[in-house]
Structure 1
Amino acid sequence: MHMADALVTPAVAGTMYFCSAAAAGYSIKKVRMESDSRKIPLMGVMGAFVFAAQMINFTIPGTGSSGHLCGGMLLSALLGPYAGFLTMIGVLLIQCLLFADGGLLALGCNIWNMAFYGCFLGALFIWKPMMKTGMSKKKIIAASILGCMLTLQCGAFSVTLETLASGVTELPFAAFFAVMQPIHLAIGLVEGLITAAVLLFVYEARPELLFCHKYAKQAEGRCSFRKTLAILAAAAAVIGGGLSYFASSNPDGLEWSIARLTGSTELTSSGGVYEAAGAIQQATALLPDYAFKSSESALGTACSGLIGGIVVIVLCTLVCCVFKFFRKKKSA
């Protein structure tokens, strides 16, 4: 559901940059109050996992469309809403700059649509209330599916509102809404099942890594923290470096919806701001569209998955150091 620059005007893009920046600033303030240093490697590894998982588009049967994991609900269920949101920003930033996935002008929109709802609404209004009466496998499955479906619906609706505010006449609001919401409901269901599978593994391995873990009925895990982290890191490497090659070639939910109304998966735009944003992405995108430049080699996809994951880990670690996240507080 990465929006391209052509879908938004500079005014709408600037507004969404401001909203996303405000949420990021608040998240930084909240995370700096935490003192669990184990979240630093967990942020990096789970950021890499989400990056890799987003490379795998799964087919939505009978539609000609595909979808991919957004990851906001998954990250917030592990890291909490604030650290999860910041991790998602890192993933989306790397995708935008290194791989030209999603427009630079539209980055604020993509952060809001794909990260804000999953991390804040999903964690604080779905995950936390459901776990307060006792965390269990059934509740993890229910919260994952419900959270992903509802927050993805919010994200899809935001896309239609942003194009409406931008005056994109090729995408009439009512018609765009009518195609966007149902397809993303199906995508949200699949994402919920994937999210539930990952969280159930963590629940069995190290339940204290989950957000609201104090309500868990299972007190002890079967794996050490390092082993759990190693398994998640290995999964990210396998997904990004191998399984991503088998991703569906069908357009994702947003592209499919646009094509249903316009006959093409992309819209065009012109103007100095769009050209400047495009020039920056062209200069920074080392592996545009997750491939070597001027090459369709499968090795480009594998390298993109591995390199992207490593860069996300490094970025998350650097951010934690710069903002002094998770440092132990001195006792009074």
Structure 2
Amino acid sequence: MHVPDGFINAPTSAVTGVVAAGAIAVSLRGARRELDERTAPLAGLVAAFIFAVQMLNFPVAAGTSGHLLGGALAAILVGPFTGVLCVSVVLLMQGILFADGGLTALGVNITNMAVVTTVVAYAVFRGLLTVLPRTPRSVTAASFVAALLSVPAAALAFTLMYAVGGTTDVAIGKVATAMVGVHVLIGIGEATITALTVGAVIAVRPDLVYGARGLQQKLRLRVNGELVDAPAEEPRTAPVAARTSRRTLWVTGLVTSLVLAGFVSFYASSSPDGLEKVAADKGIDKKTEEHAVSDSPLADYGVKDVTDARLSGGLAGVIGVGVTVVAGSTVFWAVRRRRDTDASPTTVENV
């Protein structure tokens, strides 16, 4: 759902740029409360993983594909404020290096794909957990529903932006119907990827999943033929989780991201994604502008002058994962360091 230059007029793009900048500023402050020495490295990895999975377009209908947006996944794994930053880092890398998503539309894309998806997904997720039992299965199920709803929410957000600042004269009702319809299907893919990923991390390190904090399963014993709660114990980490170090999890996640971006992405669907398909069908793309960095050595997720398509795309994917994990880790390290600085007691000398 990367919006290119030319879909939305300059005034609306400027307003969404201000909204995006404000959301990032708020998220930088909020992320200080979410990140610590354990989760900060994971946040950089989440950004890299989202970048990698976004390269894997999956078919959703005849001639249409979809890809992960990532707001729900990031919010549940590392927190809503950090989640906004994760997706924003990905969008920035994609726009600057890979000519994916217009630079003048960067505010539109951050507002739509980072802010709206994260806010909607986390609100739904927390709402579901208030009525569901605090179990790994419930967290995974809530992740699925939250991710599913976040995608059509982003489609509606784009439709509203287009209604205000669209550069072509298209009936907004038709745009809304087409956008929501196809993105409900894409949402199923988003929900599946999100639930599988959240479930996998919970299985080995539930303590590192922001949305699963405080997650404990009560031990139940059978006494005289009836199940009763066992006496309360000190919180314990599951045996499997205890054997999986943060470093092992980080390395596994990074290798997975590199494999997905460097190899599996070659087999992704080549069909246009939901927004591209709707734009072509409804005439939204009539005033699309050429990307400012269309001559980038990595434009369109290929390495310039590398003629082999498989090698070119794979190298671009690996470079993208590497740059994103470095950029994301740098941002989150700085945020965590600022938190540590703010938390340090001030020493006052008595004179």
Over the matched positions of the two proteins, sequence identity in percent amounts to: 32
Q: 1:249 corresponds to which residue?
A: 270
Matches within 5 A, 1:217-296: 217-218=216-217, 219-221=236-238, 222=240, 223-262=244-283, 266-269=285-288, 278-279=291-292, 281-282=293-294, 285-293=296-304, 295=307
| 3-state SS, counterpart of residue 168 of structure 2 | coil
Q: 1:115 corresponds to which residue?
A: 114
Cα shift at 1:157: 0.9
Alignment check: 8 A CA contact 1:241 1:302 kept: yes
| Gap change, CA 1:242 and 1:325, over 3 Å in 2 | farther
Question: How many residues end up aligned between the 2 structures?
Answer: 320
Cα shift at 1:267: 3.0
Cα shift at 1:104: 0.5
Alignment check: 8 A CA contact 1:80 1:119 kept: no
User: Unaligned 5+ residue runs, structure 1?
Assistant: none
Aligned counterparts of 2:297 and 2:135: Cα–Cα separation in 1: 43
| 3-state SS, counterpart of residue 32 of structure 1 | helix
Q: 2:126 corresponds to which residue?
A: 128
Cα shift at 1:231: 1.6
User: Unaligned 5+ residue runs, structure 2?
Assistant: 218-235, 347-351
What code does the residue aligned with 2:14 have?
G
Deviates more, 1:208-217 or 1:170-179: 208-217
Question: What does the per-residue CA deviation read over 1:119-148, in whole Å, with 9 as the maximum and x for residues that have no partner?
Answer: 22212x122233345432332332222212
Match of 1:316 among 320, 325, 328: 328
Question: What does the per-residue CA deviation read over 1:19-60, in whole Å, with 9 as the maximum and x for residues that have no partner?
Answer: 111111111112234551222211111111100000000001
Q: 2:228 corresponds to which residue?
A: none
Cα shift at 1:151: 1.4
Q: 1:182 corresponds to which residue?
A: 181
Q: 1:213 corresponds to which residue?
A: 212
Q: 2:313 corresponds to which residue?
A: 301
Deviates more, 1:227-236 or 1:292-301: 292-301
Q: 2:147 corresponds to which residue?
A: 148
Question: What does the per-residue CA deviation read over 1:162-194, in whole Å, with 9 as the maximum and x for residues that have no partner?
Answer: 122124334320111111101100100111011
Aligned counterparts of 1:253 and 1:296: Cα–Cα separation in 2: 28
| Gap change, CA 1:170 and 1:303, over 3 Å in 2 | farther
Aligned counterparts of 1:226 and 1:134: Cα–Cα separation in 2: 30
Alignment check: 8 A CA contact 1:9 1:166 kept: yes
Deviates more, 1:5-14 or 1:321-330: 321-330
Stretches of 4+ aligned residues off by more than 6 angstroms: none
| 3-state SS, counterpart of residue 157 of structure 2 | helix
What code does the residue aligned with 2:254 have?
A
After TM superposition, the score normalised by the length of structure 1 is 0.90
Alignment check: 8 A CA contact 2:57 2:65 kept: yes
Deviates more, 1:234-243 or 1:165-174: 165-174
